[in-house]
Amino acid sequence: MKRLSLLVVVAAALMGGFFMRPVMVQAAAPRPNVVFILVDDLAYDALGFMGRYPFLKTPHIDQLAKEGAWFRNAFVTISLCSPSRSAFLTGMYAHNTGVPTNERCEIPPDMPTFPSQLQKAGYSTAFIGKWHMLPRDDPRPGFDHWVSFKGQGVYFDPKLNVDGKPVNREGYITDLLTDYATAWLDKQAGKDKPFCLYLSHKAVHGPFTPAKRHAHEMDDVELAVPESFLDDMADKPRWMRRNAWGAMKPGRVPDKLPQKQWPAKRKDRLGYLGAILAVDECVGRVMDTLKKIDRLDDTIVMFTSDNGFFMGEHRRGDKRLAYEESMRIPMIVRYPAKVKSGSVIDAMTLNIDIAPTFMQLGGAEIPDGVQGRSLVPVLDGSTPDNWRQAFLYEYFRERHFNQTPTLLAVRTERYKYIIATDEKDDIAELYDLQKDPKELESVINDPQYADVLAMMKSKLNMLKQKTGYHVPDILKKKPADRAPRPGKKTAK
């Protein structure tokens, strides 16, 4: 009997490399499907369960949070569409992805992304929605199925690129993208191959346009004034006061800004909130489809935004700045295998962490250049002792948005230090977030915070070195020096 067993083992070794690859006889760990839903410009607290807007109903997103985990401390490393998207895809800072600004550049075709790595690991992959790196809509590497549009796209009746072919569609963009997403998911039913869906919405980016069925949902709403809207900005940098005062106004910018009337029924902000309603319906449709094809509980579903957004805080709309409303993002994950229903994850989480998380869960190789950390160790709600305690935030002045300077910031659990690197004669900012969570009073000149300021400056220098911070070459070139966009004719 022993001799027979030995012969069987030897035969197995000769045929299958049994002794060389013992892992082959073990059951492989189940690899989850991946559904990544990215919204554009969604403020971290513009969801029903957050309670800021009692009239805003997002039942499907709320349910996702009930069945999964909400990340209390999720941030982007740069608050701008294209650069943040490059960071989500690659797990690297935008100064290293080649995409430090909007539309004029994109990640190199051979740069690994989480979809391309999962594709190599045996996943079926699909991209549906806003790509927004270079003004092109043609398919990019790493995807078996592709649906996109040029640049920002439009809310109604878009022209799409579907697997390399132009397609004109009638309807509302959030609904149409969801149609494509659920149709592709339907095709995954019954297949053994895991899948990765990256659904990237145009909503809720401006011009803020709800679906027609939601056009009047906010007619009776009056928005409460944010506390920081009333700030006189006496302690803010001059460039910040200049922007809030009006960059084109003649004369000297006041040292203290006068009070301003709060527009409680401002149409664009109400349109912004109205556009969220269709996004919520999209989440419900995607979840229903996963349930229908019996893949709901073996799928990690992540819902987040490319950056935050100001809804009047600090007298701002838009993003870009290093204040909380801009750098904080909503993030929800549902994955029953590792995430407890209704849990809250406090670990400091960045957009560069998403790629290595999906790569690890999918059994894909994590490239050496990845700067983020897999979130797998924190999905159970714990925070490892060696988890990050601070992170670097960056933003680079844009040619077509010149009023906001190049920014660097360091955020820890308690403090934030912000400096505009190309406003040499202006002041920096330091905030004690524990005492001043709305960033109303900079303590940069308070002698009681001298040691904190020194510590934060030291952290900034350390993080710049650690992340390889630099101003990318594309930002140093004049327009005439830049390579022409693919397909664009040059003058002779």
Rounded Cα–Cα distance for residues 414 and 412 (Å): 5
Q: Is 47 a member of any domain?
A: yes
Residues 6+ apart with CB under 8 A from 221: 55, 265, 270, 273
CATH number at residue 306: 3.40.720.10
Q: Is 79 a member of any domain?
A: yes
Rounded Cα–Cα distance for residues 328 and 273 (Å): 18
What integer is the mean pLDDT of 202-226? 98
Alpha-carbon 260 to chain mean position: 32
* pTM across the whole model: 0.91
C-alpha pair distances (Å), 370 with each of 72, 155, 354, 355, 375: 23, 34, 11, 8, 13
Q: Is 269 a member of any domain?
A: yes
Q: Is 246 a member of any domain?
A: no
Residues 6+ apart with CB under 8 A from 101: 80, 82, 83, 396, 398, 399, 474, 475
In whole numbers, what is the pLDDT of the chain averaged over residues?
A: 92
Q: Is 426 a member of any domain?
A: no
Q: Is 53 a member of any domain?
A: yes
Range(s) of the domain holding residue 165: 29-225+262-375
**Number of folded domains that form the chain:** 1
Q: Is 178 a member of any domain?
A: yes
Using alpha carbons, select from 273, 265, 226, 223 the residue that is nearest to residue 57.
273
Using alpha carbons, select from 404, 487, 490 the residue that is nearest to residue 78.
404
Tens of pLDDT, residues 91-137:
999 999 999 999 789 999 999 999 999 999 999 999 999 999 988 99
Q: Is 414 a member of any domain?
A: no
Rounded Cα–Cα distance for residues 474 and 492 (Å): 23
Tens of pLDDT, residues 330-383:
999 999 999 999 999 999 999 999 999 999 999 999 999 999 999 999 999 999
For the ranges 6-15, 230-239, 248-257, which has the lowest average pLDDT? Answer: 6-15
